[in-house]
Amino acid sequence: MIAIRPSMTRLICLISLPLLAAPMSAGAQAVERGQPATASPKPTAPNTGIIPLPLTPIVPAPQRACTAKTPSGLGYTMLRAGTGAQPAGDDTALVNYVGYLAATGAVFDQNMQTPMPVGEVIPGFAEGLRLLSRTGILRVCIPAVMAYGAQASETIPANSDLVFQVELIDFKTAAEIADMRKAQGPQSQQEGVSNPRP
């Protein structure tokens, strides 16, 4: 045990007393300095309003533009370069994507970890997938003629230019998928890969 001299005890008390004192509220400190105390802000009531569905976020104009073009007229911006090979037309890609209208930025579709047969999606989306390597992220600006053309849908007007942000998580060749189905048994061979929208 260490012995403390009486003079040290007083010094310790002088140093530690301010630290032990309860901190004053902002209002009490203001009154002590001769300033009027301000009222503390009242908690806001929770917003119980109904959110209109479906949610339709708008992508800002700078994120609707592409910086390069392929010979076919497809616009693209490589947002993050991937590594390795790119998928071919008969491969199935696993992607995260969001699709929006070039004119307004209105989001019409988005999905995560979606398998997409490269040869079975709209031409502009397929060409964009073939530009990506695994882990890459691409913004692809698709002219209407490489998308749905004069065909309209609920969320996509006729002759609309489209923009997609696409992340290539992985892809498998047709042979790799066939081998996986064989390994899983006869039931998986009867199940087809669902064809997503793009």
What separation in angstroms does the CA of 56 have from each of 107, 113, 146, 147? 6, 21, 24, 21
- Dihedral through CA 103, CA 108, CA 110, CA 114, nearest 10? -110
**Shortest CA distance to 145 belongs to which of 163, 122, 164?**
122
Domains and CATH numbers, the chain: 61-186 (3.10.50.40)
* pTM across the whole model: 0.68
| Per-residue pLDDT at 19 | 43
The 8 Å CB, 24+ separation contacts for 108-115 are 108/155, 108/156, 109/155, 109/197, 109/198, 111/196, 113/169, 114/196, 115/193, 115/194, 115/196
Whether the link from the prior residue into 41 is cis, omega within 30° of 0, is no
**Between 29 and 167, the higher pLDDT residue:** 167
Which tokens is 66 given? Answer: 């592409």
Residues 137-163, mean pLDDT to the nearest whole number: 96
pLDDT for 99-114, tens place per residue?
999 999 999 999 999 9
